[in-house]
Amino acid sequence: MKVVVGLGNPGIRYAGTRHNVGFAVVDEIARNQEVTGWRRRFRAKTAEIPCMLLVKPTTYMNLSGDCVHEISRGLGIPASGFVIVLDDLDLEPGRIRIRQGGGSGGHKGMRSIIERMGTDQIARIRVGVGRPPEGMEPAEYVLKRPGLCEKELLTKAIKLAASAAMFVAAEGVVSAMNRYNGLFAD
């Protein structure tokens, strides 16, 4: 079983923001798989589909590692069983990138997961949200909702990332990297 964890912040205030694209990807998978209900457990909203557990942490972004660690311990799933979906400032909107592991890239949610799990060898799907305009702090930028043109690109990237997450679960991270890295959602 793969555990697909979409990173984001709970609550209506954060819905639709760039920082919540991880939640949006998990929601897209759930929609495609006709998930009818979510459960609250492991400090998250979870839903099960064949061979996959979908997770939206309710711990807020900077404490995402607490949720992932609880799932790992509670279900006996090693770090290699997780796929983390997160926003990325260094990728332009419309791009996704799959990685087998590595550092947090400055993303506090990913940093929390790496620290709590004790390894950086955790698969992730990064969804590009682009850089903030000059003079705007990155934290302010990711907590804003995108404009219309950018929203169209992000919607397409979310669909692409959902497809990639399903592919990772079925075929593995390396195969997914070969198939999806370099694609642009258009």
| Torsion over CA: 130, 136, 138, 140 (sign) | negative
pLDDT of residue 21: 96
Please give the distance of CA 138 from its chain centroid, rounded to a whole number.
Answer: 18
Catalytic member of 2, 18, 19, 45: 19
- 2-180 adopts what CATH topology? Rossmann fold (3.40.50)
- Cα 74 to Cα 107: distance, rounded to the nearest angstrom: 25
Give the start-to-end residue ranges of the domains of the chain. 2-180
Residue 49 has φ and ψ, to the nearest 5°, of: -130, 170
Exposure string for 55-87, b = 16+ CB within 10 A, e = fewer: bbbbbbbebbbbbbbbbbeeeebebebbbbbbb
In tens digits, the chain (186 residues) has pLDDT values of 899 999 999 999 999 999 999 999 999 999 999 998 899 999 999 999 988 999 999 999 999 999 999 999 999 999 999 999 999 999 998 899 999 999 988 899 999 999 999 999 999 999 999 999 999 999 999 999 998 888 999 999 999 999 999 999 999 999 999 999 977 776
Q: Name the packing angle between helices 148-171 and 173-180 (round to 10°).
A: 140
- Residue-level pLDDT at 104: 87
Whether residue 107 lies in the annotated active site: no
Tokens of 41: 């457990």
Secondary structure (3-state) at 152: helix
126 vs 90: CA distance, rounded Å: 10
- pLDDT at position 94 is 86
Q: What is the pLDDT of residue 118?
A: 95
Question: What is the structure's pLDDT at 148?
Answer: 87
